[in-house]
Amino acid sequence: MQTTAVILHGARNLGLEALDLIAPGAEDLVVRVDHSGISTGTEKLFWSGTMPPFPGMGYPLVPGYEAAGEVVEAGPDSGFRVGETVFVPGANCFAGNVRGLFGGASRHLVTKAARVARIDAGMAAEGALLALAATARHALAGFNTALPDLIVGHGTLGRLLARLTVAAGGKPPTVWEIDPTRRDGAEGYSVIAPEDDPRRDYRAIYDASGAKGLLDQLIMRLAKGGEIVLAGFYTEPVAFAFPPAFMKEARLRIASEWQPDDLTATRALIESGALSLAGLITHTRPAAEAGAAYETAFTDAGCLKMILDWKGQA
């Protein structure tokens, strides 16, 4: 079985190629992907060649861990049936020397049924956002956590954090955004420039920007005993001045990737109507234009989320 997939051969060296897929087993599904998302975090680092050493990384690779599509083959022990719509968090299903560290940007995927999640077919392209929403939920739902009263960054992750906070019944958070073009689209919370915010008593600050050099500024905004949550991905050492943090008795927490229970809980919030994914996808391009799509996703500040549309692709 063959498929067409996005291949990264090195920094900024990306295109579509035909690849062989491994044969599916009794517990596997073959999924025809209709939409896949482009991550402005990890995928950007691979695309730009700035990803720090990471287990399993290397080129050539198939990027992507946000895919939604239809089951076209279901193994007898999979528990699924042909025609169901599913979310797939990437797959390592490519024969040869191509790495499937993430492996979601492909027209067809072979994956263990246990890794996928059923979704409503009506979600269409928004179905590819499930992992990002689950990542935001994971940051909020850790041990002994507080909902954010300040979120840094009004990109897709920051918006999801704010929406989930409101959905959880929390007080609407303040969101900082330095780019004026990204301050719109708030749903029940306010978005302001950092310099317009006088507060110095935040209990929980969630940084969704991944920007370097912010910790000292954020620590000064904490209430005593407050927490800073690093929800982005940081390519450079994270450092801060100790005396201000000491005086604040500041706490620091790092939120990693989502877990299966986060995916389940997030899907339930979406299905109940408590969490909306509307308005997060700003750009869609045919998969055949993948090179231009990745360029736009990583260089256009107006692009919150780029979706590759695989329909019509062999």
Phi-psi region of 131 (alpha: psi -120 to 50; beta: other; left: phi over 0): alpha
Same domain as 244, residue 159: yes
Q: Has residue 193 been placed in a domain?
A: yes
CATH of the domain at 177: 3.40.50.720
CB 124 within 8 A of CB 148: no
pLDDT tens digits, residue range 68-127? 999 999 999 999 999 999 999 999 999 988 876 789 999 999 999 999 999 999 999 999
For residue 21, the cross-strand partners are: 94
Measured in whole angstroms, how far is the alpha carbon of residue 184 from the centre of its chain? 20
Element (DSSP H or E) covering residue 38: strand 28-38
- Distant-in-sequence, close-in-space partners of 144: CB < 8 Å, separation ≥ 6: none
Round to whole Å and give the CA distance between 93 and 80. Answer: 19
Whether this model's pTM surpasses 0.85? yes
For residue 19, the cross-strand partners are: 3
> Residue 183 — φ and ψ, nearest 5°?
-85, -5
pLDDT tens digits, residue range 246-296? 999 999 999 988 998 999 999 999 999 999 999 999 999 999 999 999 999
Q: Has residue 207 been placed in a domain?
A: yes
pLDDT tens digits, residue range 51-76? 877 776 788 999 999 999 999 999 99
Helix%, strand%, coil% for the chain, nearest 5: 25, 30, 45
CATH of the domain at 91: 3.90.180.10
CB 29 within 8 A of CB 78: yes
For residue 5, the cross-strand partners are: 17, 106
Q: Which residue range(s) make up the domain with 292?
A: 2-132+258-309
The β-bridge relationship of strands 67-74 and 28-38 is antiparallel
Q: What is the pLDDT of residue 41?
A: 85
Same domain as 15, residue 123: yes
Positive or negative, the CA dihedral 122, 128, 132, 138 is positive
Same domain as 155, residue 16: no
> Residue 292 — φ and ψ, nearest 5°?
-70, -35
